């Protein structure tokens, strides 16, 4: 990884926004994403006790996808439609996958979610990484395909190849890269989507 480029990116970011993510010029962006409020809702909607009701979990999944500014407008109605026509077995699968992703075996949950979304041709990085990101904003990352490819190329990350179909192996290794990058710079945010947002801003 090119640490020099990362340090230059940090200097460039603070040149544009002296107060970092508290800078007045970024307030409109923060307001548009409304991340703290959605994160709070995700904690309520995906609390452990709610997983006894797969119908509720699937409805909540569709609601958060609809609310999130991180998800493409094209994908929102497709997820709503998917949940409407799912069999009880598929709802169980989706609910179990999300439970594992948040509270159990993350690999099993990740792969289960990819599997159930793939049945509806919706196995997209955004739809797999969204709920874990909102639930654990300091630990998990929202994966945006274009930004991810650009980060790997621009910062010369070795041995990591992005593929459109989500895989847990890539997600695990990419998270390690981003966590290492976070340690190399002093960006005033605990929100991982804001951190990748910083990288996106400086690459532009």
Domain ranges, ordered by start, for the chain: 3-31+141-203, 36-135
pLDDT of residue 178: 94
Residue range 171-192: average pLDDT? 92
Q: Is 73 helix (H, G, I), strand (E, B) or coil?
A: coil
* Distance of alpha carbon 98 from alpha carbon 108, whole angstroms: 10
Which residues have C-beta within 8 Å of that of residue 8, sequence separation ≥ 6? Answer: none
CA angle 196, 175, 191 (to 5 degrees): 40
> What pLDDT sits at residue 26?
81
Please name the residues in contact with 80: beta carbons below 8 A apart, sequence gap of 6 or more.
62, 65, 66
pLDDT the model gives residue 147: 92
Query: At 82, is the secondary structure helix, strand, or coil?
Result: helix
Q: For the segment 109-151, what is each residue's pLDDT rounded down to a tens digit?
A: 999 999 999 999 999 999 999 999 999 999 999 999 999 999 9
Q: CA–CA separation, 182 vs 112, rounded Å?
A: 29
Helices (H), 17-144: 27-33, 35-45, 54-67, 75-85, 88-103, 106-118, 125-135
Q: Which of 54, 49, 52 is nearest to 88 (CA)?
A: 54
What's residue 55's pLDDT? 96
- Does pLDDT of 65 surpass 80? yes
Q: How many CB atoms lie within 10 A of CB 156?
A: 12
Split at pLDDT 50, 70, 90, the class of 34 is confident
pLDDT in tens, 11-21: 998 998 888 88
Distance CA 118, CA 113 (A): 8
Neighbours of 97 (CB within 10 A): 25
Say if residue 1's pLDDT is above 80. yes
Whole-model pTM?
0.91
Dihedral (CA of 94, 98, 104, 105) sign: positive
Distances (CA, A) of 189 to 60, 193, 195: 27, 9, 7
Residue 189 has pLDDT above 90, yes or no: no
């Amino acid at each position: 990884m090119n640490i020099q480029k990362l340090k230059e990116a940090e200097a460039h970011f603070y040149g544009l926004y002296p107060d970092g993510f508290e800078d007045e010029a970024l307030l409109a962006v923060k307001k548009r994403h409304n991340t703290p409020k959605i994160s709070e809702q995700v904690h309520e909607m995906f609390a452990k006790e709610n997983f006894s009701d797969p119908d509720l979990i699937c409805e909540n999944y569709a609601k958060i996808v609809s609310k999130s500014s991180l998800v493409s407008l094209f994908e929102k109605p497709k997820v709503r439609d998917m949940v409407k026509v799912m069999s009880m077995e598929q709802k169980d699968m989706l609910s179990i996958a999300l439970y594992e992703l948040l509270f159990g075996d993350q690999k099993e949950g990740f792969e289960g979610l990819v599997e159930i979304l793939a049945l509806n041709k919706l196995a997209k990085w955004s739809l797999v990484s969204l709920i874990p990101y909102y639930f654990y904003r300091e630990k998990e990352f929202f994966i945006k395909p274009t930004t991810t490819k650009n980060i790997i190329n621009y910062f010369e990350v070795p041995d990591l190849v992005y593929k459109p179909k989500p895989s847990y192996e890539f997600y695990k290794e990419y998270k390690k890269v981003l966590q290492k990058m976070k340690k190399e710079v002093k960006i005033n945010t605990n929100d991982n989507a804001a951190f990748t947002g910083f990288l996106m801003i400086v690459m532009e």
